[in-house]
Structure 1
Amino acid sequence: MPLKLRSLYRRPDAFPMPDFVEAGGRQVPVTVRENARAKRLILRVAPDGGVIVTVPPRTRKKVLSDFITRHRDWIAERAGGAAAPVTVADGCTIPIRGAAIRLVHCGGRRVTRLDTDSRELSIGGMPEHFSRRVKDFLRKEAKVDLTAAVSNHAVRVGLSPNALSLKDTVSRWGSCTSDRRLSFSWRIVMAPPNVLDYLVAHEVAHFKEMNHSAAFWALCRDLCPDMDEGRTWLKANGASLHRIRFD
């Protein structure tokens, strides 16, 4: 049965709305992104339950269509079943360093206090600022954890980063440029600490190897011996961290 794609392939700056592919009896959103560094077509599940296809420049529409057709069973199995988003609010629970933490608005002065024993994060101030202050807390904690992990791994490879920035990207958890500028999603602080450590080890390994060769993975494993556990967790659960909304 031929695959029907409605205007599926467009330039990255012309993707205001996703297209869909029928898989497993569902209409699954498909977003196509061209990447100048991509050598092959890559398929992954998006946080919204759809799929993202990364393609090399000038990929022909038929090649893209055939690729999605071959992977329709994969799409049916893994996509289309995303959990409902969680909106940050008083009384809800979100993960922080892998632990389920209840958010509590305590009013009064602008206090932010994490109690790991009771597993509560108390946020003071005006109710309308509650979500923003939770987000500010997570960014601050992420900066602390990421800075410490980068320092640890950078010493081991004998090179220092030239910059470290935090973003809220969906397409990648971290990146490293050829001049050793690191960027991470601050949401990684919600994952277990060993996952954050793997992510940092992965990016710091690029200080020596700007590729994903056997030498790169050997260095990554040397920096983070349990990298497989962190990598697997991120692939299986990373999308859930993007479903936490700070409206």
Structure 2
Amino acid sequence: MTLPANPKERDIAVAGRRLPLTIREHSRATRLTLRIEPGGRALRMTVPPGVSDREVERFLLRNNGWLSSRLGKLPRPNSLADGGSIQIRGVDHTIRRTGAARGLTEARETGEGRILFVGGAPEHLARRIVDYLRREARAELEAAVARHASALGRKPRAIRLKDTRSRWGSCSSEGNLSFSWRIIMAPDHVLDYLAAHEVAHLREMNHGPGFWKLCRTLCPRTDEAKTWLKRHGSALHAVDFG
């Protein structure tokens, strides 16, 4: 297989944002293509060999309207702050610093609604939230994986959490399951579907009819969850944890 050439990187202004653009020349490419990365936080362009910088600029100019329209539908990457909000299990939580130097980050129902209480210094706010989301994601995913794997009579070799942009989960041929911890921001049935999807790969290492039948058996809300991820997954990727 012929590998793509080393990419060029630059910034581009579009729809009131300044986004990183990666331009990669590929020997098998027959036309210029442009892709918005999950969350709308970067752009990726693939070009055939020998395409000039002028052609690239013309292509970007022609597609500026399309880019503006697509990016305009995505939430702007936000920086987490005291008084802001974040979704946990599909529910909005107001972020509130406790002012305490120490203390666990925890979500609680209060008379003012659902609050995510965060201790520690202000500059550590995002990191503490990430740590909390990762802990919650691991607990929920391990429980869901154990339930679905038991139904199949299979056992994964390992469960790993990552912050991937290209996929929500994966299953290796050795039986290692990987998940994006950002899935904890989605509703419970979406997380359950993701766990069922990767567990189903322990038996069906493909996406054929047999796989989807098994997936729907493990998680009856599979189609609903897939639709949710397609519509809202980019919003989860757009959350900027610094």
TM (normalized to structure 1)? 0.74
Could you tell me how far 1:153 is from its partner in structure 2? Answer: 0.6
Preserved CA contact (<8 Å) 2:22 2:43: yes
In the aligned structure 2, how far is the partner of 1:191 from the partner of 1:149? 14
SS across alignment from 1:228: helix
Could you tell me how far 1:32 is from its partner in structure 2? Answer: 6.5
1:184 aligned partner: 179
2:56 aligned partner: none
Tell me the matched-pair count: 214
SS across alignment from 2:177: strand
Cα 1:129–1:216 shift into 2, 3 Å: same
Q: For 1:169-213, what per-residue CA distance to the aligned partner results, in whole angstroms no more than 9, with x for missing partners?
A: 101110000111000000000000111111111111100110111
2:52 aligned partner: none
Q: For 1:103-160, what per-residue CA distance to the aligned partner results, in whole angstroms no more than 9, with x for missing partners?
A: 1001123232211343001111222211111110000000001001100110111100
SS across alignment from 1:116: strand
SS across alignment from 1:90: coil
In the aligned structure 1, how far is the partner of 2:8 from the partner of 2:148? 39
1:120 aligned partner: 115
Letter in 1 for 2:106: R
1:217 aligned partner: 212
1:92 aligned partner: 84
SS across alignment from 2:9: coil
Cα 1:241–1:204 shift into 2, 3 Å: same
For structure 1, list consecutive stretches of 5 or more residues without a partner in the other structure. Answer: 1-9, 35-41, 62-67
2:70 aligned partner: 79
Match of 1:162 among 154, 157, 160: 157
1:203 aligned partner: 198
In the aligned structure 2, how far is the partner of 1:173 from the partner of 1:104? 28
Q: For 1:8-29, what per-residue CA distance to the aligned partner results, in whole angstroms no more than 9, with x for missing partners?
A: xx827x3352799x9xxxx996
1:131 aligned partner: 126
Preserved CA contact (<8 Å) 1:221 1:227: yes
SS across alignment from 2:95: strand
Could you tell me how far 1:60 is from its partner in structure 2? Answer: 7.0
1:140 aligned partner: 135
Deviates more, 1:114-123 or 1:43-52: 43-52
